[in-house]
Amino acid sequence: MKLYELTTEMLELMDSEDCEETALAKVFGDIEAKAQSICQFTKTLEGDIAAFKAEEERISARRKAMENTLKKVRDYVLENMERLEIDTLKAGTFTVALQNSPPAVEIEDETLIPAKYYDIIPQSLKLDKNKLKEDLKNGEIPGCHLKKSKHIRIR
């Protein structure tokens, strides 16, 4: 039986006038057994989630290491081609060529740059929900209210 079916049965038994304690105890035992199965399932899911997170971190670290290796190898070839003053190099089926990158701004001392080069970027408003929550405990604030809810904790 499903948990909601057991719950319905338990409520019907509790509403019944000729309810026997043994019937209530049996259904309640079934509910406890079903809850135990659900708890075991949630623990399995939590373990799987933790394993996936660890694997994501491992793969991400490996990808970053490979990206760093790629950059080092490209810089190595670039440096040696510049030292030899070679613009193009045939390497088997590959052709390696130096190419000019677009100019980039390099800041030496930001305090010396005139103000006209600074953009004022407005920030969006962000609600401080913690402060709002504290003030709502002491009274009403238009446009919001405290919502009460429940959650389960499996120990």
Report yes or no: 24 and 12 within 8 Å, Cβ to Cβ: no
Its pTM stands at 0.59
pLDDT in tens, 100-148: 888 888 888 888 888 878 788 888 888 888 888 888 888 888 888 888 8
Residue 125 lies in a domain: no
Domains contained in the chain, number = 1
Residue 125 region by backbone torsions, left for phi larger than 0, else alpha for psi between -120 and 50, else beta = beta
Q: Which domain holds residue 22?
A: 1-97
**Confidence grade of residue 5 (pLDDT, cut at 50, 70, 90):** very high
| Confidence tier at 154 by pLDDT (50, 70, 90) | low
Q: Is residue 150 part of a domain?
A: no
pLDDT of residue 148: 83
Of 74, 72, 78, nearest in space to 98 by CA: 78
Give tens-digit pLDDT for 69-83: 999 999 999 999 999
